[in-house]
């Protein structure tokens, strides 16, 4: 494929290892990446890989999910909880296409997952063979990179590159499509010690001049705000963020994925911003004179109308991905670099400042606009109360995985996350059905942690088959279903923007506690506040997976809300 000095042959020391099959090469690469779980489902084209997994089963755990989409989401949860790479596998054709949503999700949320798909054998590729799909053709726009391996001698290098690409720089999904006969063939090749990826050099420390300019802008500002994004977690820069905020007395707001990167009970934390962010977090963005965007892509759900977002602010933006800088906001100080390394250089240049007037202003807004007060509700349990109850029962120590929609916003708002990797949800793509499988991955990442899956009834139904995986694998996680018998966010939007014409939002649900029981899980229902509290206590105490079908108010809305097309100054607050 390449010539003598091309990359595919560079650095190999030939024939020094015993011969390995393609399947063994893949298993070895997974183990070398420090990964100990593979989520997947076998099929014709991946059978020889499963034969290798059979040989490796004492070292590498295979968790058989019940739908390939669950494999991808579980690998996402595992990756985010460990900071390592997740691995998901499927067969060719339908198995592979079932993981497409997961790849798109990882891509949007910058999560490192390696997808290993079986492909039909090389001689029949392109012949419309049984279960053949051009899956690398499909995955190109939704992966960081992809490979179709056509020579077993390339496989050791490809696998090593795949894990490196998935984990480094701005992480993302990497897809390796492997024909059935390649899993079976043997090779004596080993991966090169140093990878030769000329076109891929993830940035390290940001430009020093720019870092000094950032310090000048920050030091001169009276009303700065740090917008803490997912990059803080990815780069492991929470300590540096804490230093920056406390040294300069700079308030911190977080994006959905930045939740917990700065302790939410700290006086300088003003919570999550955005469409359903806290009122005062959004007000801060309207009035600030200096936005310090750290590891964020200024997503439209966080920013709203860009003209109203810090209209008078200088923008300092640090991100590892140069393409994110200047994409949404005009940036005064653009810095491309690893956050942790760059902040280490920035911190000594930051002056101690009190910024009393600004902090007072924010605290005044916080007192006036009580975004986290839960209204009285004598006749129904409010979903926010469920999240609070989980916060209380776990002492704030649970890892919470939310699905998509209202439940996601309540889980982000009404729990105070003290550290990163405590709150997980699918932000950019927003795939309902994420929470249950992702929670399995989070639990298997560290089984000592309490793990709560907070899902709506609609999202649960999308991957409810995974109850079977929970039971079969004995994955001890707690599932709290905020059951409002609706696609709640759809119902809310139809109420707000379609004069209440509800179409397709109502869900005629089964009894989820009985469904859980039929799968061999512990299932309980709750209709009142007392029953809800009792159920959550019981689930916390029970040693094993529990599903709680919690009947909550059917028409509760998520507040505050910024109506699409408007900005941070037009926050709609709870009318009660």
Query: Catalytic positions, please?
Result: 68, 130-131, 180, 489
Q: Which of 12, 200, 242, 493 binds another protein (CB under 8 A)?
A: 200
Given a contact cutoff of 8 angstroms between Cβ atoms, the answer to whether 180 and 119 are in contact is yes
Q: State whether residue 322 is helix, strand or coil.
A: helix
Q: Which of 58, 193, 194, 198 binds another protein (CB under 8 A)?
A: 198
The stretch near another protein (CB under 8 A) out of 197-205, 251-259, 342-350, 563-571 is: 197-205
Nearer to another protein, 2 or 13 (CB): 2
CA torsion through residues 458, 462, 465, 471, sign: negative
Binding mask 118-157 for another protein (x = CB under 8 A): ------------------xx--xx--xx--x---------
Nearer to another protein, 1 or 541 (CB): 1
Rounded Cα–Cα distance for residues 3 and 179 (Å):
24
The stretch near another protein (CB under 8 A) out of 193-201, 311-319, 470-478, 511-519 is: 193-201
Rounded Cα–Cα distance for residues 106 and 428 (Å):
9
Rounded Cα–Cα distance for residues 487 and 385 (Å):
19
Q: Which of 184, 197, 205, 374 binds another protein (CB under 8 A)?
A: 197
Nearer to another protein, 141 or 375 (CB): 141
Rg (CA), the chain: 24
Nearer to another protein, 3 or 127 (CB): 3
Nearer to another protein, 53 or 325 (CB): 325
Beta-bridged to residue 186, according to DSSP, are: 21
Number of residues that bind another protein (CB under 8 A): 24
The stretch near another protein (CB under 8 A) out of 2-10, 27-35, 405-413, 537-545 is: 2-10
Helices (H) and strands (E) in the chain, counts: 23, 22
- Closest approach of another protein to the CB of residue 207, in Å: 16
In whole angstroms, what separates CA 89 from the centre of its chain?
A: 19
Beta-bridged to residue 395, according to DSSP, are: none
- Closest approach of another protein to the CB of residue 3, in Å: 4
Give the 3-state secondary structure of 482-496: EECCECHHHHHHHHH
The terminus-to-terminus CA distance of the chain in angstroms comes to 68
> Binding to another protein by residue 44, rule CB under 8 A?
no
- Closest approach of another protein to the CB of residue 92, in Å: 18
Nearer to another protein, 141 or 267 (CB): 141
Beta strands (DSSP E) in 230-283 are: 252-254, 269-272
Binding mask 150-179 for another protein (x = CB under 8 A): ---------------x--------------
- Closest approach of another protein to the CB of residue 259, in Å: 27
| 547: nearest Cα among 482, 479, 485, 473 | 479
CA torsion through residues 154, 159, 162, 163, sign: negative
- Closest approach of another protein to the CB of residue 58, in Å: 34
Q: At what angle do helices 22-32 and 47-55 cross, to 10 degrees?
A: 60
Kindly report the backbone phi and psi dihedral angles of residue 85, in degrees, each rounded to the nearest multiple of 5, phi listed first.
-100, 140
Kindly report the backbone phi and psi dihedral angles of residue 9, in degrees, each rounded to the nearest multiple of 5, phi listed first.
-115, 0
- Closest approach of another protein to the CB of residue 214, in Å: 20
The stretch near another protein (CB under 8 A) out of 96-104, 191-199, 471-479, 568-576 is: 191-199
Nearer to another protein, 198 or 501 (CB): 198
Find the binding residues for another protein in span 387-416 (CB under 8 A). none
Q: Which of 59, 204, 208, 327 binds another protein (CB under 8 A)?
A: 327
- Closest approach of another protein to the CB of residue 160, in Å: 14
- For residue 476, what are its two tokens? 């001890």
Given a contact cutoff of 8 angstroms between Cβ atoms, the answer to whether 48 and 23 are in contact is yes
* Stretch (H or E) spanning 133: none
| 154: nearest Cα among 202, 122, 129 | 122
Find the binding residues for another protein in span 284-323 (CB under 8 A). 321-323
Q: State whether residue 333 is helix, strand or coil.
A: strand
Q: State whether residue 136 is helix, strand or coil.
A: helix
The stretch near another protein (CB under 8 A) out of 3-11, 95-103, 110-118, 552-560 is: 3-11
Given a contact cutoff of 8 angstroms between Cβ atoms, the answer to whether 183 and 119 are in contact is no
- Closest approach of another protein to the CB of residue 198, in Å: 5
Residues in contact with another protein by the rule CB under 8 A: 1-7, 136-137, 140-141, 144-145, 148, 165, 197-200, 321-323, 326-327
């Amino acid at each position: 494929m390449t010539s003598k000095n091309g990359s595919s042959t560079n650095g190999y020391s030939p024939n020094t290892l015993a011969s390995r099959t393609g399947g063994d090469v893949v298993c070895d690469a997974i183990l070398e990446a420090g990964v100990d779980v593979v989520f997947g489902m076998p099929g014709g084209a991946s059978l020889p890989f499963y034969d290798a997994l059979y040989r490796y089963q004492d070292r590498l755990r295979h968790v058989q999910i019940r739908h390939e989409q669950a494999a991808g989401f579980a690998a996402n949860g595992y990756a985010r909880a460990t900071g390592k790479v997740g691995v998901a596998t499927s067969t060719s054709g339908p198995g592979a296409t079932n993981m497409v949503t997961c790849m798109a999700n990882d891509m949007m949320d910058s999560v490192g997952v390696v997808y290993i798909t079986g492909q039909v054998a090389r001689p029949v590729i392109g012949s419309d063979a049984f279960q053949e799909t051009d899956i690398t053709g499909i995955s190109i726009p939704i992966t960081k990179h992809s490979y179709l391996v056509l020579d077993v001698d390339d496989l050791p290098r490809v696998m090593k590159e795949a894990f490196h690409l998935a984990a480094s720089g701005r992480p993302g999904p990497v897809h390796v499509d492997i024909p059935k006969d390649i899993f079976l063939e043997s090779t004596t090749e080993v991966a090169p010690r140093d990878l030769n990826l000329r076109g891929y050099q993830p940035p390290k420390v940001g430009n020093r001049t720019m870092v000094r300019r950032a310090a000048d802008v920050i030091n001169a500002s009276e009303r700065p705000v740090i917008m803490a994004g997912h990059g803080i977690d990815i780069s492991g820069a929470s300590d540096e963020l804490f230093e920056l905020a406390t040294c300069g007395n700079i308030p911190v707001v977080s994006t959905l994925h930045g939740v917990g990167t700065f302790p939410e009970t700290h006086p300088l934390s003003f919570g999550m911003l955005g469409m359903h962010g806290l009122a005062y977090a959004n007000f801060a963005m309207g009035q600030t004179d200096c936005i310090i965007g750290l590891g964020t892509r200024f997503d439209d759900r966080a920013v709203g109308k860009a003209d109203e977002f810090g209209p008078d602010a200088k923008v300092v933006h640090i991100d590892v991905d140069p393409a994110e800088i200047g994409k949404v906001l005009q940036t005064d100080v653009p810095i491309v670099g690893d956050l942790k390394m760059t902040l280490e250089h920035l911190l000594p240049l930051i002056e101690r400042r009190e910024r009393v007037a600004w902090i007072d202003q924010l605290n005044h807004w916080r007192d006036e606009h009580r975004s986290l007060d839960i209204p009285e509700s004598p006749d129904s349990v409010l979903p926010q109360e469920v999240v609070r109850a989980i916060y209380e029962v776990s002492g704030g120590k649970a890892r919470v995985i939310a699905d998509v929609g209202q439940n996601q916003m309540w889980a982000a708002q009404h729990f105070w996350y003290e550290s990163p990797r405590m709150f997980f949800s699918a932000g950019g793509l927003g795939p309902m059905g994420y929470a249950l499988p992702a929670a399995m991955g989070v639990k298997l990442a560290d089984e000592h942690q309490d793990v709560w899956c907070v899902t709506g009834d609609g999202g649960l139904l999308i991957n409810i088959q995974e109850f079977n995986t929970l039971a079969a694998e004995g994955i001890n996680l707690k599932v709290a279903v905020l059951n409002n018998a609706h696609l709640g966010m759809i119902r809310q939007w139809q109420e707000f923007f379609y004069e209440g014409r509800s179409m397709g939002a109502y869900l005629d649900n089964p009894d989820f506690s009985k469904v859980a029981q039929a799968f061999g899980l512990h299932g309980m229902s709750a209709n009142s506040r007392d029953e809800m509290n009792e159920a959550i206590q019981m689930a916390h105490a029970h040693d094993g997976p529990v599903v709680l079908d919690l009947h909550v108010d059917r028409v509760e809305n998520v507040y505050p809300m910024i109506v699409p097309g408007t900005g941070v100054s037009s926050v709609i607050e709870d009318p009660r």
